[in-house]
Structure 1
Amino acid sequence: MKYIITLVLSLAALGSAFSQQSYILKGSVLDSADKTPLIGATVTIDYGDQTDFVKEDGSFTFVLPKKEVVIIVRYIGYVPFRKNITLPLDNFVIELKLVENTLQEVIVSGTGSENVKRPMMGVTSLSMKSVEKLPTALGEVDLLKGLQMLPGISSVGEASNGVNVRGGTTDQNLFLLEDTPIFNPTHMFGLFSAFPSEAISKFDLYKGNVPARFGGRAAGVLDVKLLNPSMDKFKMKGGISLVSTKLMAEVPIIKNKMALMISGRGSFNDFLFPIVSDKLKDLKAKFADGAAKLFYQVNDKHTLSLAAYYSYDFFQTEMLGSIANINASASQFQYETTNFSGKWFYNISEKANIQTTLVSSYYQPNTLLPEIDSDNVVKIRQSVDYKQIKSNLNLYRGKHNFELGVDAVRYSINPGNIEPGTSESVLPISTPIENGIELGASIEDVIEINSRTNLSVGLRYSQFLSMGAANVNIYEENEPRDEISVLETIAYNKGEVAQSYGGFEPRVGFSFLIDDKNSIKAGYNLARQYLQIVSNTTTPIPTSRWKLSDLNIKPQVSQLVSLGYFRNSSGNVFEYSVEGYYRKTDNIIDYKPGADFLLNQTPETEILQGVNSSYGAEFMVSKKKGEVTGWVNYTYARSINQIDEGPLLSQRVNYGQKYSANYDRPHTLNAAVVINQGSHHDFSFNFTYSTGRPFTSPQGYIKYSNQVLPFYFLRNDTRLPDYHRLDFAWNIYNPQLRNKKFKGNFAFSVYNLYGRKNAYSIFFRSENNLLKPYKLTIFGAPIVSLAYKFTFNH
């Protein structure tokens, strides 16, 4: 590129004697808080005469025929910049501030205007302002529900603990909040997202080409960033809905040097349940979360930031049977997340910077069982302890933009232990602590080969060490893993390596511009996963067991190939995309019939591993500007498992034949529309349709001891009825408050507008010596809610 620019300047100088003079404009676009480049920002001259995109090093360049021009810079989530300037300018630095008030547009694209040009596929950015305009369930702005309106992203139903990305399981996604992993991304068993919407600045979902700096998950990465607090003004925003109350404040501590962002949300409205139904009088549900970020601008080259996040849930029900054969009056689930991160950013020069991050994440799900006719509570405790250090070096050299990274993770997992308290009938039980170390190194280069061709090439190497102390069973080869086939048990001391896995993980993305509005892209992605959930439920619950790879459980290895066509309309009003993909994942995990993982000392005896094949095609049209904005997309996708470890029935699932995964939904149609009605209000609608998910139905029943018991042969042989839902939202503003310090607005929404009784599951009960099916519905009627939101800028 620099040779092209030099040639253009030389020709301009040569022709100046015969034609009008040309003027050079060189500059950069940075985040006003941390001075990082805003890659992909759109730079426009004189309202569209010329347009360029900010490069990886933050730079842009123009050769212009006029001395005085208007420059306009836009980037998703930031306040647009516009200024009259006089040329020439050789180092024009533009710093954009994060948006604090509502945007005029709903924006969803690959990465803004880089929809056509960027070489990486399957990168989705959805602005939080867009999510806030969409209809919500009970007034709760939900990041995960918003993502499910995009192609390739789904769930098994309303109460699902996470999302499924392109045929992957929920635990195959890496959820990051300010670089810290979130092991349970939902509240209330999947009804609401655990991400604090009022404190989020931006988020990126990688479902295709995943940057080489990310590792540890086989399907996708959701990278969520907290707001950088305002350095010069006190700001506050909050709201109240039927479900929760929330508040966020930005507090300058040292003007233009140090500031703090702190947010909190709480839901303590379960006293309303008996009003809805007498059946809910013993149901208790509470949740809370909080986030904080301290940002310190040391000088022009150094910045420090500290972030913290805490999440708490409590859920009680009498509708479940006994757990661990404990005679309890109710089942109580209590789970907490406590995360911290510290980040140091050093801007070495205009072409080099380094960032080092320390991460701590602690997830503790507990099951509490109050004994009948007693004050004693039996506790089943579990935990996941995650510690990480990582460092990334960015180098910008001509047409090459390098990123080099190293990282190390230490895992310590408590699969579960029983604390009986004062109970005389319950014995203490503990399962062995699992320890592991994951090491990674990566290099990636984004190359501008020429004006039409861009290439992203990354390579990651990961190494996993299963560590002692541990007692590892060695099973007879080609035999089912059980007590009978154990050949020996090897004891490993603390710090001793019991098993090692590893390998290279190439990541490649390619784009070719047919012209300024059309491009073709292709990608390849390989990833390894050493930590997974083992569960016998359709969707993992918060207390599901996390399991490290070891001698008997191999890591999952996923390979994804994708190809796409992308088009922007004139003026970038419309964006069109078609993406196809095929994913093969080796060593996926599924459970044997009747498996029970709670407090199991040898979970490998209940697990079988096999292959998943997922493929699909995603079609999307989005409208980004105008009075009516939004998008519509259709996805055809399949996700098929095959588990066949040996010739015996106990070594197979579904007789070794292929079967649909729990989240296999062939057809999905999503539409989101926002109708802007000036400064007073706007309307929005969501519509979603999908094929019903598969489930396992009984092939017959047997009578035993005056009971009717079902028996099952085939896995996921039947489907639920198709799912569809229409939502509505009306956002009401007071234009008289537009230029006031205090601003407030109401959000009226109706979830499931026409009251569709969508089935979450089908279960069977024995009645009069017959098995009868029953449908469980989460939201079977229109859910009306009213929420109030406000902002205050001092």
Structure 2
Amino acid sequence: MKFRGVMTAVSGAAMAAGSAHAQNAAPAPEPTTVDTPAATTASSKNRDIVVTARRLDEARAAIQPSLGATSYGVTNETIQALPGGDNQQFNQIVLQLPGVVQDGFGQFHVRDDHNGLQYRINGTILPEGIAVFGQTLSPRLIEKFDLLTGALPAQYGLRTAGIIDITTKSGFANGGQVSLYGGSQGMIEPSVEYGGSTGSTNYFVSGDYRHSDRGIESVDGSATPLHDKTNQGQAFVYVDHILSDNDRVSFVGGYSDQYFQIPNPRGLQPDLGYSVNGQTDYLSNDLDERQHERTAFGQLAFLHHADRLTLQASLFARYSSLRYTPDITGELLFNGQAQSALKRDVNVGGQVEGAYRLSDTHTLRGGVVIQRDRSTSDTSSYVFPLDDSGAQVGEPFAIGDAQGKTEMIYSAYLQDEWKILPRVTFNFGGRFDAYDGYRAEHQFSPRANIVWQPTGMTTLHVGYARYFSPPPFSNIATTSVARLAGTSGAAPSTENTAAFAERQNYFDVGLSQKLGGGFTATIDGYYRRSHNLIDEGQFGAPIILTPFNYRVGTIRGAEFNLTYQRGPWLAYGNFAAAKAKGKDIVSSQFSFDPADLAYIRNHYIYLDHDQTYTASAGISYAFRDGALAGTKLGGDMIYGSGLRKDGDVPNGGSLPAYAEFNLSLSHKFANPGIGVRLDVVNVTDKTYLIRDGSGIGVGAPQYGQRRGVFVGVTKDI
């Protein structure tokens, strides 16, 4: 048998999706006075700073409005309302949004795409990294975030399945909190956050540490996975300084250091017939594989807002590294090879974007982004020498391979928001993207969206977007396939075409309707036709995803969202249906079985991350009066009809459907400033498969989290 380690897990899902709607963003409003506790108790100068900061935040948001895209919004208050609060990891929050599918590695898929996500923090792009298990961003830093998808306007490119646009906390009121959270599976998580202001400078910092005996999904469904510990530390800082009523400079930085054991299956022995210095037996319980991931990022931005012009110029950088440490003897006996791997990636760039209000009916927006990405890889592959019949003819030896590559990306866009009629907006434009790395490709991509608001309660949008998505540079496999020929690590073939950029035609139509009484409903449908559709898979023991292309692919689906928010109640429900297929694998062919390649060359197959039906829901109630004032009750759930597995053909079957339910109870004692909470994850202790180890590019079985009980206490400081 072949053994491969597995990947990620988290404690429960949590949150309520805000109303989903097609946004028709207006130019930034002029200053207004907002009475808040911070404003009414601060000095007149501090009050002016608060108002100026909020006006500049609104101006920044107006540079990059969604303008006809589908938008789902989440606030910090919503994050706190349901199980886990901001103690959970960020991917679990996103799973509560429409059309988001759960996967292993802590991954999720938006509209059946594979990781085609771009993160932005306060309007500035966060470059891609190479972390697999770890979550770089903590919910503690988030004031609110939006998931934008569909036919995106021209300011969004390169990664277009979904834009996760984060607005960070920024302090203003001097104070913060310390907390301690933990429970099942040996989980303990202390954290601290603090924000405030000094003169015209505002700041927010946070940090947390997490230890758990369940760092990654179990490979056997056990409530106590074997060899699955994790230690994770995260830190974040935000600082801004208001230079004048119209100008602000800000800095955002973060660091994460995360260590994972790779969980072991129980009771297995190798059966490939190999021997290491006479040893042929090795109990799978004793395997010791580990992965260490580090990420650091920084963003420096200058924002200017005048009468007609709003401009933000940013510099950004991200460093990430991944080190996989194998169990050399065990992996040689189980797999015929063992590979130690160290990958590093450094991405730096600049971004300038602006909006100019040409007239009452026309607002021009444009921007330029330049990125430089340097990726290095250093691997040692331990393999057996084989004779022509495939029999072992000696003791294992190591083959080293160290490589590096640099990629440049250039992007520019221009668009016009044209208010054709008071209730009809036409946003049209285009962007140009080019990259030069393992390949050099480019494309001009037109975009067009029409938003019609026939009444104050109804919004319709129709959009078209041409997309261009280069393959994820830091994940491209750099190992020389030919070096392993004649060994137990030899690939099925030596064909290794470099990955292509994906080119898409994307169509989207949607309706948002306020129903009255606190209810809002949205429905959205989409169709995407791709050339060189990008997918990713795990093809070796190191938990590193490798991109590859289907020559053609189609993805289509529909989403429905219903939200209710009134008084102490917050509730939502989401349902999505999707179908994703591809044909003819045209890159990284060495990773695949030749029989699979031959079949896929002439037949459409489901993508391995396709899930036909996905749903989520949540509800919370906040007691505001009486003896229970300060108490919140909540619950949420996720449902999946099952990801793909192999059947009669590759990815031809699907895993069983599942539903996971989570509950939460919290109370805030106002006078001492102490909060307590109790969360129960997977209340029914449902044992369910996320992956069964089969399918194109799937490395090992992965099970959802078993029941967990977690408690927390928080103290204001």
For residues 126 and 361 of structure 1, the distance between their equivalents in structure 2, rounded to whole angstroms, comes to: 25
Pair 1:315-2:315 in alignment = no
Task: Give the conservation status (yes or no) of the 8 Å contact 1:513–1:520.
Answer: yes
Quickly say closer, same or farther: Cα 1:55–1:582, change in 2 above 3 A: same
Secondary structure in structure 1 of the residue aligned to 2:555: strand
Report Cα offsets for 1:17-59 as digits up to 9, x if no partner. Answer: xxxxxxxxxxxxxxxxxxxxxxxxxxxxxxxxxxx99831325
Alignment partner for residue 164 of structure 2, among 222, 247, 256?
Answer: 222
Query: Contact 1:219–1:558 at 8 Å: present in 2 too?
Result: no
Are the counterparts in 2 of residues 258 and 295 from structure 1 also a CA contact under 8 Å?
A: yes
Q: Classify 1:185/1:431 alpha carbon distance in 2 versus 1 (closer, same or farther; 3 Å).
A: closer
In structure 1, the residue matched to 2:584 is 643
- Report the counterpart of residue 286 of structure 1 in structure 2: 231
Where 1:432 maps in the other structure, the secondary structure is strand
- What is residue 342 of structure 1 aligned with on the other side? 300
> Structure 1 residue 689: deviation in Å?
2.0
Alignment match, 2:51: 95
- Tell me which amino acid in the other structure corresponds to 2:604: K
Question: 3-state SS of the aligned residue for 1:296?
Answer: strand
In 2: Cα distance, 1:641 partner to 1:163 partner: 19
- 1:241 aligned partner: 181
Q: 2:247 aligns with which of 302, 305, 313?
A: 302
TM-score (normalised: structure 2): 0.75
Q: Distance in 2 between matches of 1:93 and 1:747?
A: 35
Q: List alignment gaps of at least 5 residues for structure 2.
A: 1-22, 41-47, 55-60, 278-285, 331-337, 383-394, 478-495, 695-699
Residue deviations 1:635-683 (CA, integer Å, cap 9, x gap): 1211112226599957545353112112222122322111222223121
**Paired position in structure 1 for 2:446:** 506
Deviation at 1:558, TM superposition (A): 2.3
Offset of residue 262 of structure 1: 1.7
Structure 1: distance between partners of 2:259 and 2:416: 46
Alignment of 1:127-526 (within 5 A): 127-136=75-84, 140-156=87-103, 159-170=104-115, 172-178=116-122, 179-181=124-126, 183=128, 189=133, 193-230=135-172, 233-242=173-182, 243=187, 244-252=189-197, 255-270=198-213, 282-317=227-262, 319=264, 330-347=288-305, 349-369=306-326, 379-397=340-358, 398-418=360-380, 427=398, 429-466=400-437, 499-526=439-466
Q: 2:554 aligns with which of 613, 617, 622?
A: 613
Secondary structure (helix, strand or coil) at the match of 1:95 reads: helix
> Tell me, what secondary structure is at the counterpart of 2:407?
strand
Native 8 Å contact 2:417 2:427 kept in 1: yes
Q: Which residue number corresponds to residue 529 of structure 1?
A: 469
Residue type of the alignment partner of 1:176: R
Answering whether residue 661 of structure 2 is matched by residue 726 of structure 1, we say yes
CA contact (8 A) 2:212 2:229 kept: no
Shift of 1:142: 3.5
- Closer/same/farther in 2, CA of residues 315 and 568 from structure 1, 3 Å limit: same
Amino acid at match of 1:408: I
Distance 1:184 1:389, change over 3 A: closer
Give the Cα–Cα distance (whole angstroms) in 2 for the partners of residues 394 and 530 of structure 1.
27
1:371 and 1:643, CA in 2 relative to 1: closer, same or farther beyond 3 A? closer
1:608 deviates by 5.1
Report whether the alignment pairs 1:558 with 2:498: no
Letter in structure 2 aligned against 1:291: F
Work out which of the residue numbers 696, 704, 713 in structure 2 matches 1:778.
Answer: 704
Distance in 1, Cα, partners of 2:404 & 2:637: 46
* 2:83 equivalent to 1:125: no
- Distance change >3 Å, CA 183–CA 245, structure 1 → 2: farther
Q: Is the 8 A contact 1:270 1:286 kept in 2?
A: no
Within 5 Å, give how 1:680-695 maps onto structure 2.
680-695=630-645
- 1:788 and 2:707 matched: no
List aligned pairs for 1:1-16, cutoff 5 A. Answer: none
CA distance in 1, matches of 2:716, 2:234: 20
Which runs of 5 or more structure 1 residues have no equivalent in the other structure? 1-51, 61-70, 83-91, 99-111, 468-498, 536-549, 700-713, 765-773
Structure 1 residues 297 and 419, CA, compared in 2 at 3 Å: closer, same or farther?
farther
Name the residue aligned to 1:696: 646
Shift in Å at residue 302 of structure 1?
A: 2.6
Name the structure 2 match of 1:567.
513
Query: Cα distance 1:204–1:458, how it changes in 2: closer, same or farther (>3 A)?
Result: farther
* Mapped pair 1:58 → 2:29: yes
Name the counterpart of 1:587: 532
The whole-number CA distance in structure 2 between the counterparts of 1:566 and 1:279 is 45
Stretch deviating more after TM superposition (518-527 or 714-723): 518-527
For the structure 1 residues 97 and 143, does the alpha-carbon distance in structure 2 shift closer, same or farther, using more than 3 Å as the test?
farther
3-state SS in 1 of match to 2:610: coil
Measured after TM superposition, the shift of residue 425 of structure 1 is 6.8
Distance change in 2, residues 1:238/1:635 (3 Å): same
Whole-Å separation in 1 of the counterparts to 2:566 and 2:39 = 18
SS in 2 for 1:129: helix
Q: Deviations over 1:141-178 (max 9, x none)?
A: 3332222222121122xx433321112102x1113345
Structure 1 residues 608 and 505: CA distance shift in structure 2, 3 A? closer
The equivalent position to 2:689 in structure 1, one of 755, 759, 774, is 759
* 1:755-787 Cα deviation digits (max 9, x unpaired): 2111223359xxxxxxxxx9753323x211112
Moved more, 303-312 or 172-181: 172-181
For residues 326-362 of structure 1, the C-alpha deviation after alignment (integer angstroms, 9 at most, x for no partner) is: 9996211001111111111223x22112211111111
What secondary structure sits across from 1:460 in the alignment?
strand
Deviation at 1:729, TM superposition (A): 0.9
Give yes or no for contact 2:225–2:264 (8 Å, CA) kept in 1.
no
Q: 1:556 to 1:325 in 2, by over 3 A?
A: farther
Question: Following the alignment from structure 2 to structure 1, what is the Cα–Cα distance between the partners of residues 347 and 327?
Answer: 30
Task: Tell me which structure has the larger Cα radius of gyration.
Answer: 1
Report the alpha carbon displacement of residue 367 of structure 1 after superposing the two structures with TM: 0.9
Instruction: Give the structure 2 partner of residue 632 of structure 1.
Output: 573
Q: Alignment partner of 1:433: what SS?
A: strand
The alignment partner of 2:78 has SS state of helix
CA contact (8 A) 1:175 1:185 kept: no
Check conservation: 1:401, 1:445, Cα contact below 8 A.
Answer: yes
Q: Per-residue deviation at 1:589?
A: 3.9
Q: CA deviation at 1:437?
A: 0.8
The residue that corresponds to 2:17 in the other structure is none
Contact 1:644/1:653 (CA < 8 Å) preserved in 2? no
